[in-house]
Structure formats: C-alpha cells, structure tokens
Structure 1
C-alpha cells in the first residue's frame, strides 16, 4: 500500500480560534474560491457546562449569510451538552453552492462553558500544493 501525501491537496483554514466559550460565537468567513470541496471540523476540548451547538452558514457574496440546509451537508453536527462531548471531534462535509462558509457555535446555559475550535478544510484546489 502506498501512502499519499494529503497536505498538498488540502488547505486548513482556522475560522474560530481555540478558546473556552460561554457565549455564542461566529467564526470568520472562509472563501472557497478555487476549491471544489470543503469540510468543517469542530474540536471540543474540556467541558464544564452549557449546551454548545455547532452550525454552518453560507453566502454567495460574503455579505448575506444563511443557515446551510441539511441537504447541503454530508453528515450533521450534534449539540454537546455534557462531559460526554468533551475531547471529541465532529466533521461535516459541505456540498452546497455558496462561495463563503462561516461556522457558528450557539451556546446556551453556560457559566464556564467548553473549549472549542473550528476549522474549514478546503480541498480539490485548482492548484496543487496550496
């Protein structure tokens, strides 16, 4: 079996920097121009309290964003509302037509919160080695 390099075929773009969150946070927009595939990775670290629900918004112009429909995602996100969700990773593929993606983490009932980070992986780029 030959192992192939994935680094030159995927570009990881941080959208929501690692931090402990006790309030809703919206990640920075990621431009998908020049790429034919995208996946969103949500990493949960230590959990203390609250419900932390990841979601995804898309835009064609980078100004007006709307929630991504379930049909435009391969997989789905799950809310984390207990310690069972600590130190887990969720991944969803984006199969919609929006040029820009913007992850969002909706937090409810948190005092201390949970550590989270969200990144967008862009793949199948027009140029290899991006």
Structure 2
C-alpha cells in the first residue's frame, strides 16, 4: 500500500533556532532515496534582515566538498529574502544526484532570523520506510 507516511522519511536538516550568521544544515544522507523535499519554517526576523536558504550537494560529508545545487536540479526556489512567520519548500532531484544534500541559511543583512528546516526523503528504494 502506498501512502505518505510509509513512503517518506523526515530528517531534521536544521534544528529550530535563532540564526545570526550564515549557517550550514546537517548533511542529509540520500542513500536509499531518490529525492528530498526541504520544508523551511521561519519565525521572527530582526533588524530588517535579508536571509535566504540554498541547497548544496556533495559525495562526502566534508564541509569543503559541498557545492550549490544547480537550479535545474531543484523543484521550486526559496526567495532571496525570507519573510517572517512563513513556510517554504524546495525539492532536490539532482540529475547527477550526489549522496548528501543540505540546506544552508544565507545572510546578506540584518540581525537574526528564527528558522528550522526538515528534509522529507522520498521515492525510497525499499518501502515501507521504517519510522
């Protein structure tokens, strides 16, 4: 039986927190999955902040190996300026899919933003997915 609960796995990509500088989320291992949907939740933005989120990919978990995901390898985009108390989503499909993907909060200006990100892994090689 196919259903959303058994065909997906939720992973914390960035713990909910107040971010005052650029911040890298956790390296999400896509082993066994063909896609990832990142759900970004924002809270208050202080100091007329200009914060955004971008996706990065890598074959390893080494910080220096991560590179920005090409727009063609994403479904949807996150605006360059996040809005307070909003929810966004962006999908990773990677035509030359890397094993690891992460979300990164970017900062152009402002003091801080409250943000949390969850990665929902989809299209599993083996279903149902263990809880």
Residue correspondences, number: 123
Equivalence for 1:62: 61
Quote how far apart the aligned CAs of 1:42 are: 1.1
TM-score (norm. length: structure 2) = 0.86
CA distance in 2, matches of 1:104, 1:117: 11
CA distance in 2, matches of 1:116, 1:90: 11
**Runs of 4+ with >3 A deviation:** none
CA distance in 1, matches of 2:45, 2:67: 28
The question of whether the paired residues in 1 share the 8 Å contact of 2:57 and 2:68 is answered with yes
TM-score (norm. length: structure 1) = 0.86
Equivalence for 1:26: 24
CA distance in 2, matches of 1:119, 1:68: 18
CA distance in 2, matches of 1:74, 1:129: 23
CA distance in 1, matches of 2:38, 2:85: 17
CA distance in 2, matches of 1:5, 1:74: 21
Uncovered stretches (5+) of structure 1, i.e. residues with no partner: none
Over the aligned positions, Cα root-mean-square deviation in angstroms equals 1.5
Per-residue CA deviations over 1:72-98 (Å, capped at 9, x if unaligned) read 1011111236xxx11111111111011
Equivalence for 1:75: 76
CA distance in 1, matches of 2:12, 2:101: 12
